[in-house]
């Protein structure tokens, strides 16, 4: 009697907002391990905004998630069985097994990590793809100079938190934008930003202006829409905007940019990027991020949904900003 | 009895569209030349879209044109009197004397040019600020590679014509966008672009798609609005957009950008620039442009308005695309 693997499939594409009905939980027997293969029990699933784009069947930088297959995503877990000399049971590994309890592979894209000083889950956050995303946009696009002002939206999230803390370390004024008093307090008090603007308070531009008295030199964008309009109006000449995400428009109609001429009059550089296309920087970025986490100089927070079946609801909450810090599913 | 200088002043700021009533022609006696001064009889005034921005009293990259002063602008002419050892009567010079028949200065910003192989007026166009503008945006922002597709709007204009011809010389497919059949024919037949799309024909996106079968890698933007929306939708991954002008929005309400998320999904670099902030490239650019004009490898066309009094009307026409090639005023 083979063991069962529980998996979540994408079974339909959203019409407008994504819903839990787009997903389906199934149980599949685990096939015996073949030569060269390794089997991993996943402990954490990473939930990330980019997944929303993959649910659509439209032209984008990545092919769509196929229907009736396991939903994609980063995972962290432990090797439980191995026919591959590179892995042994007990190894902690990060991979891309998606929304399922067990992952089986030939070891490609599977990476052994050391959880002595860095918690396993952090390899899906500050010391993983979100951390490198923040590192790349800040260091390779914004290129902050000491004394400049750097703003980041979704500042309490996995990417935003890293951006602001690295900007502070670079000698900048770091200003976050987040939704709600709790998140803003956390961004300032726990993450050490100089200020955080609550976009839900209803005075986004005015509050942002008050917190950026010298204007904005670098902006790391995760949100788009009205938030982008507001920050654009505060940009200094020769400002740099790293476009990482536009979560505000993922579910519905495209959000226009109200005053694109500011990119010209302020001579801005606006650059979109996808961190997976810059693998050359990962080793340097991960070494720096891992070192900072181990030294407790880089802080983060996690929202844990418990059990595989909670993934769809937690993912939809992430799209609405209901998470607080890096959204994970802890598998039990 | 002193000689008279005829001048055009900006006397009011536009409310919406600029009109001829914003300008006033006056006659002023020429003061005797002081020590160190040089006097120039202007032969050509340059009319350029950037002047529209200077008419407003709003925050921009340059201070507004003061009211009741001579309207700014580039000029080409001939020294008629000199108390400055660097200049002698008969020298051909380009300067920034603005909309007037005579200019008087201490020689600062006045440059002697050689009109043996390059016509004097070209120093206000292909071998002047517009030419360097095209050179900079193409070479320093778009950085074209052979085989790529480069699109430029206002392709029959002073800047656009240079961009497309340099892109062709770099081994690219050069596609122009211009208004009307005559301009498009000129862009292809006289300037040597591979194709030109007539935005007035009513099928901008469809026609652009047909002429850019491999997508667009570099876009040089002079127009904004619907034209920018259309080209953005044709951009290839890692495309570069040099934002030089957005003339479509200069007179009225800000024109939104409909699908800013394309900058992210296509990982574009969008960069605004003002050529006067990059004086370091001018010598190299002017040497190359002057060489190409002298060798008859770089072609251009001029629209001449005759007489100082024609400047306001010609300038307003330029804003509506009524010029065909570089708009000048020939002083008589």
> Considering chain B, what is the average pLDDT of its residues?
95
Tell me if chain A has a CB within 8 Å of the CB of B243: yes
* Mutate: best of B255, B260, B275, partner A, most A CBs <10 A: B260
Tell me if chain B has a CB within 8 Å of the CB of A269: yes
pLDDT of residue B62: 78
Tell me if chain B has a CB within 8 Å of the CB of A257: yes
Mean pLDDT on A198-220: 97
> Considering chain A, what is the average pLDDT of its residues?
95
Helix (H, G, I), strand (E, B) or coil at B141: helix
Q: How far is CA B331 from the centre of its chain?
A: 19
Superfamily of B129-276 according to CATH = NAD(P)-binding Rossmann-like Domain (3.40.50.720)
User: Which position has the token pair 């002043």?
Assistant: B9
pLDDT one-digit tens code per residue, A270-314: 999 999 999 999 999 999 999 999 999 999 999 999 999 999 999
* Mutate: best of A261, A266, A275, A276, partner B, most B CBs <10 A: A261
Tell me if chain A has a CB within 8 Å of the CB of B33: no
- Verify whether the Cβ–Cβ distance A249 to B265 is below 8 Å: no
* Mutate: best of A272, A274, A275, A277, partner B, most B CBs <10 A: A272
- Per-residue pLDDT band for A100 (boundaries 50, 70, 90) equals very high
Of the candidates B61, B254, B261, the beta carbon closest to that of A259 is on B254
- Verify whether the Cβ–Cβ distance B224 to A261 is below 8 Å: yes
pLDDT of residue A254: 77
Above 60 in pLDDT, residue A1? no
Of the candidates B264, B272, B277, the beta carbon closest to that of A264 is on B272
**Percent over 90 (pLDDT), chain A:** 91
Residue of chain B minimizing CA distance to A54: B265
pLDDT of residue B278: 96
Model-level ipTM above the cut of 0.85: yes
- Per-residue pLDDT band for A58 (boundaries 50, 70, 90) equals confident
Tell me if chain B has a CB within 8 Å of the CB of A237: yes
Of the candidates A255, A268, A277, the beta carbon closest to that of B272 is on A268
Domain spans, chain A: 4-125+300-330, 129-276
Q: Which residues of chain B have pLDDT under 70?
A: 1-2
pLDDT of residue A55: 95
User: Which position has the token pair 């914003």?
Assistant: B22
Select from 3.30.230.10, 3.30.70.100, 3.90.180.10, 3.40.50.261 the CATH code of B4-125+300-330: 3.90.180.10
Nearest in space to A315 (alpha carbons), one of A327, A325, A306, A326: A327
Tell me if chain A has a CB within 8 Å of the CB of B277: yes
- Per-residue pLDDT band for A249 (boundaries 50, 70, 90) equals confident
pLDDT one-digit tens code per residue, B31-79: 999 999 999 999 999 999 999 989 998 777 778 999 999 999 999 999 9
- Verify whether the Cβ–Cβ distance A261 to B60 is below 8 Å: no
Joined tokens for residue A62 = 């990545």
């Amino acid at each position: 009697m083979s063991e069962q693997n529980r998996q979540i499939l994408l079974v339909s594409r959203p019409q407008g907002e994504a819903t839990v009905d787009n997903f389906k939980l199934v149980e599949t027997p685990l096939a015996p391990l073949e030569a060269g293969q390794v089997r991993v029990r996943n402990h954490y699933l990473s939930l990330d905004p980019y997944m929303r784009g993959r649910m659509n069947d439209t032209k984008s930088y990545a092919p769509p998630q196929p229907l009736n297959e396991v939903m994609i995503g980063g995972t962290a877990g432990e090797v439980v069985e191995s026919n591959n000399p590179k892995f042994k049971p007990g190894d902690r590994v990060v991979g891309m097994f998606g929304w399922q309890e067990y992952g089986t592979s030939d070891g490609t894209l599977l990476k052994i990590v050391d959880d002595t000083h860095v918690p396993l889950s952090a390899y899906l956050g500050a010391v993983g793809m979100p951390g490198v995303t923040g590192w790349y946009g800040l260091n390779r696009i914004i290129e902050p100079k000491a004394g400049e002002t750097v703003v980041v939206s979704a500042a309490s999230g996995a990417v935003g938190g890293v951006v602001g803390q690295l900007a502070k370390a670079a000698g900048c004024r770091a200003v976050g934008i987040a939704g709600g008093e709790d998140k803003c307090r956390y961004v300032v008090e726990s993450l050490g930003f100089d200020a955080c603007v609550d976009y839900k308070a209803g005075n986004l531009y005015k509050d942002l202006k008050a917190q950026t008295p010298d204007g904005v030199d670098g902006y790391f964008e995760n949100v788009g829409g009205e938030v982008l309009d507001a920050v654009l109006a505060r940009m200094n000449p020769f400002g740099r905007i790293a476009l990482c995400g536009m979560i505000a428009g993922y579910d519905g109609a495209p959000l226009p940019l109200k005053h694109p001429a500011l990119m010209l009059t302020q001579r801005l550089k606006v650059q979109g990027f996808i961190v997976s296309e810059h693998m050359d920087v990962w080793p340097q970025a991960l070494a720096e991020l891992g070192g900072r986490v181990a030294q407790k100089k880089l802080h983060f927070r996690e929202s844990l949904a418990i059990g595989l079946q909670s993934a769809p609801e937690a993912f939809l909450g992430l799209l609405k900003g209901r998470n607080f810090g890096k959204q994970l599913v802890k598998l039990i």
